[in-house]
Amino acid sequence: MDVEGEPFDRRLSRREMLRLAGFAAGVTVVAGPAAACGAAAKKVSSSTKETGQLHVLDWAGYENDGGQPMFAAYVHAHPQNKPQFTYMTNEADALAKIRAGLKPDLFRPYIGWVEYFAKSGLVQPWDPSLISNFKHLNQFMVKAGQYQGKQYGIPDDWGFDAILYRSDKVTPKSQSWDLLWDDRYAGKIAWFDDIEMLEIAGLYLGFPNTWEQTDDQLNQSKQLLISKKHLAKVIWSSETTLDQAFAAGDIWIAYAWPADWVYMKAKKLDVTYMRPKELPIAWVGYFMLLKDTPRFNLAHAYVDAWSSTKSAKWLEDNYAYGHANTVARPASADTLKALLLNNPKGIVEPNAHLDRDIPRRAQYEKAWEEVKAA
């Protein structure tokens, strides 16, 4: 990631890794004290009685042909219950799929939705005693996954939302989110199809809490985006759409994630991943367990594999994302520095704004639909 000139090397791009179908290096489950061993034994005994494939609702790029190293230990231990995947493009899409009758065993929304789903009646708390690697997870992130004292979310990957731009084509007036609506680059800009665009507008406009905008503030954010929407060539919901358009030169500026920077560097493009002066938005992914799943223990085994140190290091080395496992360290010292991995609170102020629950989500969604329809 280039964070104001801090580059790091990556041996393989994310998309190259996704093509390595079947890559399933073994992952060693970390042994704990006697109590933890007893819990693990209970988990194995119970999970062997559960039948059927584990159904995972997740983002593209974490399934069998790309995310296999993340849950290789699970596949090795449960070859008869290999995971099957359904894609989610965002949390609203996951919610719609579940309400329409999809019955995954677990899914993976991000931190701004944890409280919403915990209140929804659609999910149930996890039993951390069945996750041997739970003790290695960032305690700040673990606490953020709790609701009313219960562990509704198990933290896994995390990273930053910021701006990716072509350094050879673009000269920012300042290190600011306003590059996403810079009139000089009309038709060369990509936005993200999510209400987060309203949060970004709120940060730019200087609102004290962009996640709880008043009616007047939300209208200001909406009007700003409507007035600038014509500058955006792409409003993407699929990361593949973004990457293809950026690699082809159709866009030079984009709301993007660290993995997109990795991919563009692999394409030999001169790119920078900006840290806006208003601060990037940090996110943490959380596994959540569906209520009444018939594969309760298998789901715990899957998340335990994801939580291992080996899996975490693979993610950091290949996707340029951080992982909640604090024992893992990426191969690159520059990655360690760029992701602030030595700072357990690198995802909060003054380093970044941690995404959070939006009490008036329905109003934000309505405003964003009005932006897109304008």
**Range in 64-68, 193-197, 238-242, 280-284 the model is least confident about:** 64-68
First-to-last C-alpha distance (Å) of the chain: 34
- pLDDT value for 5: 33
Amino acid at site 312:
A
pLDDT tens digits for range 227-269: 999 999 999 988 889 999 999 999 999 999 888 888 898 899 9
* 4 found inside a domain: no
- Count of structural domains within the chain: 2
State which residues form the domain around 332: 14-158+283-353
Closest CA to 32 of 102, 129, 140: 129
Looking at the fold, whether 122 and 21 belong to one and the same domain comes out as yes
Q: Is the pLDDT of residue 46 over 90?
A: no
Separation of alpha carbons 134 and 131, rounded Å: 5
Looking at the fold, whether 185 and 275 belong to one and the same domain comes out as yes
H or E element: which one contains 36?
Answer: helix 34-47
* 9 found inside a domain: no
Looking at the fold, whether 97 and 109 belong to one and the same domain comes out as yes
* 51 found inside a domain: yes
Looking at the fold, whether 225 and 365 belong to one and the same domain comes out as yes
Looking at the fold, whether 130 and 275 belong to one and the same domain comes out as no
* 2 found inside a domain: no
Instruction: Count the Cβ atoms, other than its own, within 10 Å of residue 11.
Output: 11
* 108 found inside a domain: yes
Q: Which long-range contacts (CB under 8 A, 24 or more apart) does 70-73 make?
A: 70/305, 70/306, 70/311, 70/314, 70/315, 71/302, 71/305, 71/306, 71/311, 72/24, 72/25, 72/26, 72/27, 72/305, 72/311, 73/26, 73/27, 73/28, 73/29, 73/304, 73/305, 73/308, 73/311
* 28 found inside a domain: yes
Looking at the fold, whether 369 and 237 belong to one and the same domain comes out as yes
Contact 88/97 with Cβ under 8 angstroms? yes
Q: Is the pLDDT of residue 193 over 80?
A: yes
* 25 found inside a domain: yes
* 6 found inside a domain: no
Higher pLDDT, 273 or 185: 185
* CATH label of the domain that carries residue 180: 3.40.190.10
Looking at the fold, whether 242 and 366 belong to one and the same domain comes out as yes
Looking at the fold, whether 289 and 364 belong to one and the same domain comes out as no
- Phi, psi (deg, nearest 5) at residue 113: -110, -5
Per-residue pLDDT averaged across 110-137, rounded? Answer: 97
Looking at the fold, whether 112 and 200 belong to one and the same domain comes out as no
Looking at the fold, whether 66 and 184 belong to one and the same domain comes out as no
H or E element: which one contains 283?
Answer: strand 281-290
Looking at the fold, whether 366 and 269 belong to one and the same domain comes out as yes
Q: Is the pLDDT of residue 128 over 80?
A: yes
pLDDT over 90 for what percent of the chain?
Answer: 70
Taking CA 67 as the corner, what is the angle to CA 24 and CA 292, rounded to the nearest 5 degrees?
110
Q: In angstroms, what CA-CA distances link 324 with 36, 287, 321?
A: 20, 12, 10
**Range in 48-52, 54-58, 102-106 the model is least confident about:** 48-52
Looking at the fold, whether 185 and 204 belong to one and the same domain comes out as yes
- pLDDT value for 9: 28
